[in-house]
Amino acid sequence: MAPSSSTRRSEPLREFQLRVGRPTRDLAAAVAFYELLELPVIASFEDHVGYSGVVFGLPDSSGQLELVSHEDDLPSPTAEDQLVFYLGSPERVETEVARLRSAGFEPVAAPNPYWQESGAVRFLDPDGYSLVLSPEEW
């Protein structure tokens, strides 16, 4: 539902940081997967009120991916739960695909045909979340 005219901002929100949090069954395996992409770890925590986690910068701290392990929060990804990395060239996609494949991960078909048509490659992380590597640039 769109905000009413009385609650709309006069200026768009321009500067902010975004963190996407995801639960994980196996924190070490999920961290190892995203470390293959050489993302910087910008924070981590262990057993903070039962939660442990790692925060990656995407690619710096203005965008963040937080992986959290807690016994009550189990991952339940859908086909549309995806991180899309717009890498800007087919060569960069090939480099990252080779890195993931050398670690034993294989690409999987995306349910949305747009990704194959655009030259993107999809992987599933250890919890079944989609990582899409796109040659496009935004």
Query: How does strand 82-86 pair with strand 63-69?
Result: unpaired
- When divided into structural domains, the chain yields a total of 2
Query: How does strand 130-134 pair with strand 121-124?
Result: antiparallel
Residue 138 lies in a domain: yes
* Global confidence as pTM: 0.86
Residue 124 lies in a domain: yes
| pLDDT given for residue 93 in this prediction | 97
Which residues in the chain land under pLDDT 50?
Answer: none
| pLDDT given for residue 16 in this prediction | 80
| pLDDT given for residue 11 in this prediction | 79
Domain range for 69 is 16-73
